[in-house]
Structure 1
Amino acid sequence: MTMQDHHDVPSRARRLRRCAAASLAAAAAFTFAGAAHAAYPERAITVVVPFPAGGINDTIARPVLQRLAESLGQSVVIENRPGASGTIGSGLVARAKPDGYTLLLGAASTLAVVPQLNTNTGYDPLGDFVPVGGLASVASVLVTGKREAYGALPAVHEAARKQPGTLTYGSAGAGTSQHMQMAQYNLAQGLEMLHVPYRGGAPAMTDLIGGQIDLLMEPVATALPHIRGGKVVPLAISLPDRSPLLPDVPTFAQAGVPDYQVSTWFSLMAPAGMDAADVKLLSDKLVEVLADPGIVKALGERGVQTMPLPSADMKAYLVKEHALWGKVIKDAGIPPQ
């Protein structure tokens, strides 16, 4: 060993110690990051419901999210942020930090319809969210309060063809599921009816019962009490087979309208950019919850079907629905709102 080599030993040792320290620090940082990631969720998760409290939103959200909270070992808090046809709450989540602690109860109207009617919603439903998964779907039932005039579906068609534009149908507002499903129905049947939008489904149902409007395409879950109470008459249900909840109500196919099956659907959404592993964790947990026989039974008794679509499948479904309702809007000539 030369003198130069001898003097280089301490410097090489120092360099090795520094490299080792750096490696240990990097390993520690990696371990800490992995531990932090594995711990998600570390605190309560807020799910924004962009509609008023009550109604079908609570029917679906509360039992499912309660069971999801139990599965995650963390609280899941529902925060109602209604307004502007659900776009206020939806926009809030679109702009939220994508850390997995602010999620959205997505709906067919707020994700597939309203943004195509109103370009000022402040969010892109296909680009600003990542689906956690599907939640549930609710079949629709066409109801009337005018038993004598429209006691069966053929009578509705006959009246609509005799006096185009005089029959009225209500909805919870422009761009809602009730509006779009009736627009699609009228297109398919070559009918012309007058749309009467309301500020919510409850006042529309009140006016239907009172005879101010003729028809309402209503989710089964919210129509059931009024049907069972004899306040409205169900004409047809949008299912492939009769519902055990309404065994005397024909399907649309049985009533003479084949291939008409529509539903109001809901999903759990996160802001775009959420960690993919965390999305998968939530998605897997949600699918498990929705497969629980207790949840299936509890929702089924209210006319709600679970929709256990994992993240990727829910994304594909949303893209398909967005295209479907975009075509209905165009073909029906529904103006921007």
Structure 2
Amino acid sequence: MSPHNRMDENMANRRSALKALSAGAVAVTGWPLMAQERYPTKALRLVVPFPPGGGTDTVARAVAQRLAIALGQAVVVDNKPGAGTTIGLSEVARSTPDGYTIGIGGTSDPLLPLLYDNLPFNPERDLVFVSTLASSTIALAVANNVPAKSVSEFIAYAKNQAASPLGYASVGVASPMHLAGIHFSAMSGAPLAHIPYRGTGPAINDLLGGHVPAAMLGLPSLLPHARTGKLRILGVASPKRSPLATDIPTLSEVGVKDFDAGFWYHVIAPRGTPKAMVERLRFEIDRVVGNSEMKESLAIAGFEALTLSPEESARSLKLETEKWARIIRENNIRGS
């Protein structure tokens, strides 16, 4: 279940609470005003488990810039990519829980113990949720040398290639895009073979060149090429149409009923970080993400601002984890 369906009904209440806080009212989150005045007293480090220049890094830097203004201290982005985000997340998990190291996590974090042996940390045990940031939409796209012009035609075309399953590109083994492709194949009956790439750029280049027939990739990266006719986007893997491209149908509405493979990013901290500091960070990050200028910046980068309470996030994350864990086990997927 995607968190978006619950987001609208909760935004009004959250805006009212934030307005009251910003006006100097008693903090509804429970952290005292004295704690707000004492923290932070030095720069914060924001660990990003992805390389510089990508969509997540862009979002992180936009948030860091505005969060620094809100906190009155620098927020330094520290890129720690590799090993399916485990290098960066491990860096956060083993940091001193003093409120000065935070990181970017995602809906795939709880799945890491299923994918990697000897993981040096446990996401549930060693990391604590701070605040949601943004969601991004996965899309199914095909190269121009593929005759399918719709999802139903693509499914039929893939079934006709059953002797040699049609390949689809993703950004890597066990990535949300990889799992979305497996989920799509199982729900639609279209035989597909995964072709992992080390990043969006190489995957799109091969899709544009017709070297790979299809791809499950982030919608923002595909859109510019679709707009110029260099590839075709058949549908988005979310329960509702993306505000980035309302003309593109969801996979659910054009043939794969109830298909949902959305994902989102959030801010995390080492377990043991003082509650008052977590609450202060949550308050400021929610306020930053809820700002209209920030929403526009996120949209340009291909993300949709997402503000969920810890309880809402935990419920959605539990459902997502159960769904993808089942797919990982059934298909014996291992991280690379």
Amino acid at match of 2:155: H
Number of residue equivalences: 303
Secondary structure of 1:252 counterpart: coil
- The residue that corresponds to 1:64 in the other structure is 63
Secondary structure of 2:307 counterpart: coil
Q: Give yes or no for the alignment of 1:324 onto 2:335.
A: no
Change (3 A) 1:37 1:248: closer
- The residue that corresponds to 1:114 in the other structure is 112
CA-atom RMSD in angstroms: 2.1
CA drift of 1:298 comes to 2.4
Q: Which moved more, 1:151-160 or 1:123-132?
A: 151-160
1: CA distance, partners of 2:132 / 2:240: 22
Cα deviation digits, residues 75-114 of structure 1 (max 9, x gap): 11111111111111111111111111111111233x0333
CA drift of 1:301 comes to 3.7
Structure 1 stretches of 4+ with a deviation exceeding 4 A read 34-38
- The residue that corresponds to 1:293 in the other structure is 292
Secondary structure of 1:235 counterpart: strand
Contact 1:113 1:175 in 2 (8 A): no
CA drift of 1:240 comes to 4.0
2: CA distance, partners of 1:310 / 1:36: 21
1: CA distance, partners of 2:35 / 2:256: 55
- The residue that corresponds to 1:234 in the other structure is 233
Cα deviation digits, residues 47-74 of structure 1 (max 9, x gap): 1111111121123212222111111111
Q: Give yes or no for the alignment of 1:151 onto 2:149.
A: yes
2: CA distance, partners of 1:77 / 1:124: 25
Q: Counterparts in 2 of 1:179-258, with a 5 A limit?
A: 179-258=178-257
CA drift of 1:314 comes to 2.9
Q: Which moved more, 1:41-50 or 1:311-320?
A: 311-320
Q: Which runs of 5+ in 2 are unaligned?
A: 1-32
CA drift of 1:147 comes to 4.9
Cα deviation digits, residues 162-218 of structure 1 (max 9, x gap): 232520011111111110111111122233211111122211111111112111111
TM-score (ref. length: structure 1):
0.83
Secondary structure of 1:99 counterpart: coil
- The residue that corresponds to 2:100 in the other structure is 101
2: CA distance, partners of 1:116 / 1:82: 20
TM-score (ref. length: structure 2):
0.83
- The residue that corresponds to 1:19 in the other structure is none
Contact 1:142 1:218 in 2 (8 A): yes
Q: Which moved more, 1:34-43 or 1:140-149?
A: 34-43
Secondary structure of 2:191 counterpart: coil
Contact 1:55 1:222 in 2 (8 A): no
Contact 2:35 2:276 in 1 (8 A): no
Q: Counterparts in 2 of 1:37-56, with a 5 A limit?
A: 38-56=37-55
Contact 2:50 2:57 in 1 (8 A): no
- The residue that corresponds to 1:123 in the other structure is 121
Structure having the higher Rg: 1
CA drift of 1:40 comes to 1.1
Match of 2:135 among 134, 137, 152: 137
- The residue that corresponds to 1:273 in the other structure is 272
2: CA distance, partners of 1:244 / 1:319: 26
1: CA distance, partners of 2:321 / 2:243: 30
Q: Which moved more, 1:53-62 or 1:242-251?
A: 242-251
Q: Counterparts in 2 of 1:5-24, with a 5 A limit?
A: none
Contact 1:287 1:308 in 2 (8 A): yes
Q: Which moved more, 1:289-298 or 1:236-245?
A: 236-245
Cα deviation digits, residues 228-282 of structure 1 (max 9, x gap): 2322211012344434432432221332222113223111000101001111111
Q: Which runs of 5+ in 1 are unaligned?
A: 1-33
1: CA distance, partners of 2:314 / 2:242: 28
